[in-house]
Amino acid sequence: MAGSEAKNSGSKQSGAKKKEVKKETGLGLTNRKADNFGEWYSEVVVNSEMIEYYDISGCYILRPWAMAIWEIMQGFFDPEIKKMKIKNCYFPLFVSPGVLEKEKEHVEGFAPEVAWVTKSGKTDLEIPIAIRPTSETVMYPYYSKWIRGHRDLPLKLNQWCNVVRWEFSNPTPFIRSREFLWQEGHTAFATKEEADVEVLEILELYRRIYEEFLAVPVIKGKKSEMEKFAGGLYTTSVEAFIPNTGRGVQGATSHCLGQNFAKMFEINFENEKGEKAMVWQNSWAYSTRTIGVMVMVHGDDKGLVLPPKVASVQVIVIPVPYKDADTQGIIDACTATVNTLCEAGIRAESDFRDNYSPGWKYSHWEMKGVPLRIEIGPKDLAKKQARAARRDNGAKIDIANDNLVDEVKKLLDTVQQNLFDVAKQKRDECIEVVHTWDEFVQALNQRKMILAPWCDEEAVEADVKARTKGEMGAAKTLCSPFDQPELPEGTKCFASEKPAKKWSYWGRSY
């Protein structure tokens, strides 16, 4: 769709040599991140070979370059939850209308997004079946069956799966798609205390996915009553921010469901005293949205920028054989370099394709966001060295063959840290502390992430939403950060001027 090939092929009349080369290679972005963010994003995800558009709106093909990132995060998260004694399972994709109804209260608001299967072949199904938008109603009837006594608790299950939500507002690859991948954890405990502890343990894993893997700074906090999962007791989240659009984005959520679902689905147990009691439940999820947030935060005008920890290729080795050079010698040096790096546990590959120039390959791997490029030419061969170029800042460093592994490891760590530091600095520059409505409106117009003292009243949040409604979308609370600045006695709510109860982040969001 946003492929540059289609766009570039339109520049046929142009006799300029540069344009010709571009047309031939199909490389380069036609939109800039700062000028046309939405178009830039679509172009990056397609040209980096992460996404292919599909012929159903809101559905996207995740190509290996994207799937590898998902798998690397899964490779972190899955063992972590197994350490917490959470077990994987798989429940069906389909939901019977009966159970979905049971849960009416919380499903009501979501109902328009539920997709239904109504036919098999040309025959109408006797009873239509829903496709899971989330799995509470799929799983909890069986929790009710499986949990009998206190010895059956805690029950801690997770599943890696797809869900379908038939969204109508502008679909965006990874960020808002009608089908997406996620993990959903659903746990049941005898006591609220155990549930409370798990909510935060999971939230910390989500923070680590964003900050340690994707190099994206996030804010941990609690959702307002209006923004929490309606079926639950309270919702915690990690919130990221996209400086270019001035929008917050909910990164992942960890809910304490309290006993609401236990009541609805009769998930009871006999406690140690022989009394009948209801379980306390949590649910939590992160999705492929994580990948979109990473692209938006780190990508630049050359394409994708991958943090080394999630890059399926961390180092791309490219031979640079000038005319009359010892081409075989250079190729052998590249092979040896890749082998040495791979043996040291670094994900390295070579690009020996002989139908592309080194320059083309540089652009290609820059577009794909590979953190480190190693070039080996005749001079490097003679000096027993290699030249490394960083994707994040373009810096070039000569590395002696003897120090290869240590230097590359150090560079990858530096790139990872630098990506986080730069992203955090940019994010922090967008945070504005306000005390009054006028300051709030001004900051909102400047696309800031706003930290404001708030009375914590739902009606006031509804009022802020109504008063900021417009083309760009209304402002809402993102979260109330766990890390609360001091709130001096007498501080007033920025919107209602009633006594403020807490600091909250506000802004437009995805």
Q: Footprint of ligand 87F on this chain (CB under 6 A)?
A: 107, 110, 113-114, 133-134, 136, 165, 184, 229, 253, 255, 283-285
* Cβ-contact 260, 99 below 8 angstroms: no
**CA dist., res. 154 & res. 105, Å (int):** 26
CB of 463 to ligand 87F, least distance (A): 25
CB of 100 to ligand 87F, least distance (A): 8
Closer residue to ligand 87F in complex, CB, 232/303: 232
CB of 85 to ligand 87F, least distance (A): 19
CB of 434 to ligand 87F, least distance (A): 29
* Cβ-contact 155, 118 below 8 angstroms: no
Closer residue to ligand 87F in complex, CB, 52/167: 167
Closer residue to ligand 87F in complex, CB, 206/506: 206
Could you tell me the CA-to-CA distances from 193 to 151, 198, 403 in Å, in that order? 17, 9, 52
Burial grade of 159 (CB within 10 A; 0-12, 13-18, 19 or more): middle
CB of 290 to ligand 87F, least distance (A): 14
Closer residue to ligand 87F in complex, CB, 202/376: 202
Angle, helix 64-83 to helix 289-298, in steps of 10 degrees: 120
- Phi (first) and psi of residue 505, to 5 degrees: -85, 140
Q: Which of 224, 230, 245, 238 is nearest to 503 (CA)?
A: 224
* Helices within 303-436 (DSSP H only): 327-343, 358-367, 378-382, 404-429
CB of 285 to ligand 87F, least distance (A): 4
Q: Which of 35, 10, 34, 32 is nearest to 22 (CA)?
A: 10
User: Pseudo-torsion of CA 12, 14, 20, 25, nearest 10°?
Assistant: -50
Burial grade of 207 (CB within 10 A; 0-12, 13-18, 19 or more): middle
Closer residue to ligand 87F in complex, CB, 284/362: 284
Closer residue to ligand 87F in complex, CB, 65/261: 261
CB of 112 to ligand 87F, least distance (A): 8
Assigned token pair, 127: 């009873």
Q: Which of 358, 361, 354, 350 is nearest to 320 (CA)?
A: 358
Burial grade of 83 (CB within 10 A; 0-12, 13-18, 19 or more): exposed
Assigned token pair, 326: 């010892």
CB of 283 to ligand 87F, least distance (A): 4
Closer residue to ligand 87F in complex, CB, 67/114: 114
CB of 97 to ligand 87F, least distance (A): 13
Closer residue to ligand 87F in complex, CB, 20/204: 204
CB of 297 to ligand 87F, least distance (A): 22
Closer residue to ligand 87F in complex, CB, 255/391: 255
Closer residue to ligand 87F in complex, CB, 253/385: 253
* Cβ-contact 373, 408 below 8 angstroms: no
What is the sign, positive or negative, of the torsion defined by CA atoms of 54, 56, 58, 64?
Answer: negative
* Cβ-contact 48, 8 below 8 angstroms: no
